Structure 1
């Protein structure tokens, strides 16, 4: 056959490798979407089609900061259990606290407990200021978490709090002084959000590191504290890319040197403060004392009790935010509710001012049993939840029945506290600030409109082995700060409607991105 001969009709050309690869690239995502929507083990769980098909809508909601509000709308439409991503469900039903966060018996033959472990996408330590060392918040392994918690737990007991009260009192009194100065010096309104943040960070700075951040002393943010707030949003961006490993790796490579230097500086600040505290020769009843005791004791029962230095650094890197910002958020939200409801504010002022003749009489033991103060703070925690949604846990390998629905092994479950706390099916007049719903008679009087409120769904400090370790300290700060401010000052809502804070419009990046709460403050006229 010469070069001019026509090709043999019977010979068929094979498709090139490039065409095959192109077909696979196009077909794979289509087939993946079809599988997610129609054949995935979660395909029977109700939810929007786009969320079931792809993780993208979920991530976009997170990055915009509207996940809490978006999930609330999804629950209003689809019910208490919603499929929000191919392998994740969102639950807003009170039974979730017991079903997911408490230990459960699965295998009766071997009597073996299975836990819903934290989802590694969110909880696996990332390359941050403290490296990849797990701390008490991020530890996924239950035994690792139990060891860390055992070491630090003595610092957060009710007994320890009595010895620590003087630290809190000092900064709360300084807060009162600063607010009084600001109220006298200015005819304008005051943003109380910043003052709450100054106070809670200064308290933990002293309790944790043996030295305040001096936010109250200087009436401004410590540069390190300001950087901490900015880092929370960055963490959401970095963690969200973990759903696509290639994108995650690319993002980490693209982090500017200046950002990396900020992380390094944060690590150096932690290490410097921790080591200065370790060199104190005077014993202090603070958060650090149990760590020093554990390191002196060394080993117990052939198990390492003491934390390593890397673990201590990681612990305080997390606690400085968790123990401060959440309490400040609750205080901001509660005061905002009080100024919007003058009658409630007046009842609270009557209780506090009628109980104490002098500010020096206000202490934790005296405040612990003040009925209306506690009702106000619980209602503030309900409506202004400092942790609006609990980051995902995963079902054990064999799957589990959660809130009456079977979920296969490895399913991620996020818990929507914000949605539960505002669900009209669980709470009478759910969106209103009504402290009387927490009155004792509301629990026993069947004629009370609040009798059927689902108080079992209200868990601001979580439950189970991962319940908030610092809740006693948080309550102490809530009591002292609220009581002393109400005893000393009259607060009024901003006269400018544009300045009035509507809590529901705030964004959330794991924690609430709290906006200013502008109030008019008048020192109380004492006889």
Structure 2
């Protein structure tokens, strides 16, 4: 019987008859969906010389042997959104790279029995959001996760891959970024532009809109949405005595804030208590980028998927088109307005006709799309995470209450400047972003031509390198007791226990988050107002909630419902 190693793969595919293939799945050493057992490989610096040849053979073997007795059985499996291919590792050891919808995880051993008759269970065995972390725990700080992809998770690797290094070339972004919405229109943005010089020009154009001076001007708009959120929170919990889902509440608030700043008006999500149609399109369109990445990695299987899932793909493409269309129209409307309102475009429009910064309305729309995606869901994720761990740990909540309520006598005194000195509030925010990084996926970079080092390892040019934020911030090598929420680790710094630089929620260097100051203002102001206004407790419906276990990752986090009840806080006058 054929084994799934090396050059025997191609030969095996021609020696098994069509009728025998399905039966042989149950006896092959790799085979049988019931017992997949493929050892993951540890990192080796030298790229295996037969990588492409063997990977192609494996892909072809997969396509020729994945057959079923009838159409019904095939649809059961393919209907589970299962797209997978094989990639060889050094010495012909194999790893299984799975693409399930927008999930991308490396699976090294799936030993539980799963029947084709239960495709949902098959999915469940493969969906492991923390698999890359598991591999680092097993193999160390650098792991090879695909033929040309290396995953790192140390503080030094953050600096080497993403930061500035004197005398070193820039690690440019990988092709992953070419699949995002506006790329199909031939337009790049601050997030998707891969060329370092063009990116630097874009950043100079946008920098004034995100400066501390501009932030002070924008604060009134931001505070307006935060106050509306507090009013909705109060109406639900105090006036009507019901539990309030702060996961959805924070999301609607941050979308309203970014809509106000990026398009000149909020989306109205807080008032209607429903997401704006464009928000849904944005989140759906993110899947298109993940799908493009999958297609580039496994082009042969992508052709099969395009045929099998043509309706689903059409919906994704439609969502991407709707997203771009709305952004274009909204930006055109804002550009035509003769107003001095203090949003992003007040500063950007001052610069756009400068000889160095000429930019079209279409490019402005691409930037606005970036603002919405990067500046809404991620900030809301940090707020929800902080709230969850605070209501789970009353002793931490009490310490934060003491700090916030001791600092302010009125809610109107709470703002960006007055919350910045609150050290425990700052620590709570940082710990929330460490234990549950708002950006859950890796951001790939390419080693420059001629090669370079990452964390002391020399790598050939063109190697794809990245850091999975969760794999860095939850590794006990970097943080003691990493799954425990401990804000004090950011106050009483003990480098023998915690390497704080291993958590980088805003990334580093020239591609670091341009909206970091805005995010911090939203985080500190919102949490301070919530803590000052309410005494919170977890609703009984969420008593068994586990924030990590009950989350999913579909490009961004799909967070669980977080129901809380509240009473108005009593303040000494």
Tell me: CA distance 1:82–1:279, structure 2 relative to 1, closer, same or farther (3 Å).
same
Match of 1:465 in 2: 510
Match of 1:117 in 2: 172
* Aligned mates of 1:152, 1:387 — CA distance in 2: 22
* Aligned mates of 1:195, 1:475 — CA distance in 2: 18
User: Which among 499, 503, 507 is matched to residue 552 of structure 2?
Assistant: 507
> Conserved in 2, the CA contact under 8 Å of 1:51 and 1:83?
no
> Conserved in 2, the CA contact under 8 Å of 1:348 and 1:373?
yes
Q: After the TM superposition, which of the residue ranges 415-424 and 355-364 deviates more from structure 2?
A: 415-424
Match of 1:275 in 2: 332
> Conserved in 2, the CA contact under 8 Å of 1:427 and 1:454?
yes
* Aligned mates of 2:344, 2:43 — CA distance in 1: 52
Match of 1:62 in 2: 104
Between the two structures, name the one with larger relative contact order (CA 8 Å, sep ≥ 6).
1
Match of 1:482 in 2: 527
Tell me: CA distance 1:361–1:66, structure 2 relative to 1, closer, same or farther (3 Å).
same
Q: Are positions 1:416 and 2:458 aligned together?
A: no
The TM-score, its normalising length taken from structure 1, stands at 0.83
Secondary structure of 1:104 counterpart: coil
* Aligned mates of 1:212, 1:127 — CA distance in 2: 22
Which runs of 5 or more structure 1 residues have no equivalent in the other structure?
1-21, 28-32, 107-112
Q: Are positions 1:221 and 2:275 aligned together?
A: yes
Match of 2:63 in 1: none
> Conserved in 2, the CA contact under 8 Å of 1:190 and 1:520?
yes
> Conserved in 1, the CA contact under 8 Å of 2:222 and 2:257?
yes
* Aligned mates of 1:243, 1:523 — CA distance in 2: 53
The TM-score, its normalising length taken from structure 2, stands at 0.77
> Conserved in 2, the CA contact under 8 Å of 1:208 and 1:288?
yes
Match of 2:154 in 1: 93
* Aligned mates of 2:467, 2:497 — CA distance in 1: 22
User: Which among 293, 301, 326 is matched to residue 378 of structure 2?
Assistant: 326
Match of 1:8 in 2: none
Deviations 1:321-356 (A, max 9, x none): 111110001001110110111010011011111111
Match of 1:5 in 2: none
Per-residue deviation at 1:452?
Answer: 3.9
Deviations 1:342-390 (A, max 9, x none): 0100110111111111111111110011111111111111112101333
Q: Are positions 1:398 and 2:450 aligned together?
A: yes
Q: Are positions 1:428 and 2:468 aligned together?
A: no
Per-residue deviation at 1:505?
Answer: 4.1
Secondary structure of 1:503 counterpart: coil
Deviations 1:222-242 (A, max 9, x none): 121122223333432332121
Tell me: CA distance 1:127–1:187, structure 2 relative to 1, closer, same or farther (3 Å).
closer
Secondary structure of 2:448 counterpart: coil
* Aligned mates of 2:321, 2:567 — CA distance in 1: 44
Q: CA RMSD in A?
A: 2.9
Per-residue deviation at 1:270?
Answer: 0.8
> Conserved in 1, the CA contact under 8 Å of 2:180 and 2:288?
no
> Conserved in 1, the CA contact under 8 Å of 2:442 and 2:469?
yes
Deviations 1:454-504 (A, max 9, x none): 012121111110010000000000011100011111111232356524224
Per-residue deviation at 1:246?
Answer: 4.4
Equivalent residues, number:
476
Match of 2:58 in 1: none
